[in-house]
Amino acid sequence: MKTIVIAIDGYSGTGKSSTAREVARQLGYVYVDSGAMYRAVTLYMGENGIDIRDEEEVKRALEKIELTFALNPSTGRSHIHLNGKDVEKEIRTPNVSQLVSQIAAIPEVRRKMVAQQQAYGSQGGIVMDGRDIATVVFPRAELKIFMIADVAERARRREKELNEAGILADYKSILANLNERDRLDTSREDSPLQMASDAIELDTTSITFDQQVHQIVGMARKRIGC
């Protein structure tokens, strides 16, 4: 059976990651959360006091960062590891969310992440979500989805998600952070968030999680031919 690459891009909190994970599960594909990679780099830079305005310091720090994904038996999900340590929870904290879009705008950081992401997708059979997956990482992906949703709804969903994960965060600051990240992600010079010309827009404001998964899996099956 033919295997394809599915690229899911969109704004913060549209449900990309949870949707992409479930789509991958239903198709038996690998799921890669590219945002987790930028978040893990951000965690490293913060914990090690790296001056992100100093290009050389950033380059030296990047050489010391190794990112891997491994299945966590207790959650049944793939977790990101930073230099061998599971940091799946630490990367979701408000501190990391505050800084991540600035780190993700640094070209050296992007170069390293994109190379690793492309290597993951070289065999197909992958679902990856992020900001530049359809435009930069896999411009030839067979299925490209661009997810959008009303920002107030996105903030509500993120608040629920963080509370469920035991991470303290209030609606107002989440909303401010989503707006600020959208602004930085769409306006940066290197690989800004934009919809690929051949992507399909999916507005998730008033559809359920199951509906959005169902729609994407349906489109994928058509392309796979099964």
Q: Which of 39, 79, 144, 157 forms a contact with ligand CDP (CB under 6 A)? A: 39
Minimum distance, C-beta of residue 49 to ligand CDP, in the bound complex (Å): 21
Choose the binding region for ligand CDP from 53-61, 68-76, 80-88, 128-136 (rule: CB under 6 A).
Answer: 128-136
Q: Which residue of 6, 8, 13, 31 would you call a contact of ligand CDP, by CB under 6 A?
A: 13
CA–CA distances in Å: residue 125 to residues 73, 142, 146, 218: 22, 11, 19, 15
Of 174, 195, 198, the C-alpha closest to 185 is: 195
Q: How far is the CB of 101 from ligand CDP (least distance, A)?
A: 4
Which member of 12, 19, 78, 204 binds ligand CDP (CB under 6 A)? 12
CA distances from 131 to 11, 14, 223 (A): 7, 12, 22
**DSSP label of 90:** G
SS (H, E, C) 140-178: CCCEEEEEECCHHHHHHHHHHHHHHCCCCCCHHHHHHHH
137 close to 41: Cβ distance less than 8 angstroms: no
Supply φ then ψ for residue 70, to 5 degrees.
-145, 145
Pair of tokens at residue 202: 């999916």
| Residue whose Cβ sits closest to ligand CDP | 35
At its nearest, how many Å lie between ligand CDP and the CB of residue 60? 21
- The β-bridge relationship of strands 143-148 and 200-203 is parallel
Return the number of the residue (8 or 217) whose C-beta is nearest ligand CDP. Answer: 8
Q: How far is the CB of 68 from ligand CDP (least distance, A)?
A: 17
> Which residues, numbered 49-108, are part of the site for ligand CDP (CB under 6 A)?
100-101, 104
Of the residues 35, 46, 62, 217, which one makes contact with ligand CDP according to CB under 6 A: 35
Binding-site ranges for ligand CDP (CB under 6 A) = 12-13, 17, 34-35, 38-39, 100-101, 104, 130-133, 181, 185
